[in-house]
Amino acid sequence: MGAIADAVLASGGQAVGVIPKGLVAREVAHTGLTEMHEVETMHERKALMAELADGFVALPGGFGTFDEICEILTWNQLGIISKPCAFLNINNFYTQLSQMFQTCVAEGFVKAERLETIIFEEDGAILLNKMLAYQPLPTTKWMNLKQV
């Protein structure tokens, strides 16, 4: 995340961070961001990121990445938010996950139209263009995020 933030800042962009206070205390926070929000918990972090972001891109990562992007996919499905979600499939990192999502559709756990809204792309520029063209599915909001 730090390398991405540094690249954004070096190119004149703005980088906004959201971090639990416990990680700030361990000196994990990036000190050069345009804006930094400190929250109490990881749950608050994800909720604030969902509120602040226009869309979400998962780069290759581990459990934290999977947790965050899958929660956003779920929130889109539930109608809590309606924002593009993408996987930057560098070196086919997410190919098997894409196949697993297709299995979920085949087994009836996910509707095919939901899968069609998820972007898997190797090329960053194409990925961003697809995100800009994103059209959310009409969804009846199942719950109010403030109540969750």
Give the residue extent of every domain in the chain: 1-52, 55-135
* pLDDT for the residue numbered 144: 57
Q: What are phi and psi of 56, to 5 degrees?
A: -135, 135
How far is CA 98 from each of CA 40, 67, 102, 115, 142, rounded to the nearest angstrom? 33, 16, 6, 9, 26
List pLDDT tens digits, range 63-113.
Answer: 999 999 999 999 998 888 999 999 999 999 999 999 999 999 999 999 999
Q: Which residues pair with 18 in a beta bridge?
A: 37
List pLDDT tens digits, range 8-63.
Answer: 999 999 999 999 988 887 877 888 999 999 999 999 999 999 999 999 999 999 99
User: Is-above-0.85 flag for pTM?
Assistant: yes
* CATH 3.40.190.10 for the 55-135 domain, yes or no: no
Question: Nearest to residue 83, comparing CAs of 36, 119, 110, 112?
Answer: 119
